[in-house]
Amino acid sequence: MPHCIIEYSDTLRSQLSPLTLMQTVYNGALTSGLFEGPDIKTRALAYEDFLTGADPAPFIHVTIRILSGRTDEQKQRLSSTVQKGLTEMGLTGISITVEVVDIHSSSYGKILA
């Protein structure tokens, strides 16, 4: 666990592949030292229709859902390592945001079928 959900503007596809984007976020989560590689789940959603403020400016937003119990310092480290990887991709004129969200373990269910 974590679940890394990447939302990004479809206009970025000409500059990077979804796989590269997912690998960058995966590597950032792994670099945080909080998770083992096989536990990190990553997926990406491209948006064709969006506004960033009043204009359709390019963006990447990553939501990282983790089971509750991590300290604020650990969450900050996770957010920072993912954001650092994204900024090092060399994209310009883009909004890059990362958010870490707690999943309450009492309401989380998982089944491997």
Give the chain's domains with CATH numbers: 3-107 (3.30.429.10)
Q: Collapsing DSSP states into helix, strand and coil, what is residue 51?
A: coil
Over pLDDT 90: what percentage of the chain? Answer: 83
pLDDT digits (tens, 9 = 90+) for 49-60: 998 888 889 999
Kindly report the length of the chain.
113
The reported pTM is 0.93
Q: How far apart are the first and last CA of the chain?
A: 17
44 versus 56: the higher-pLDDT residue is 44
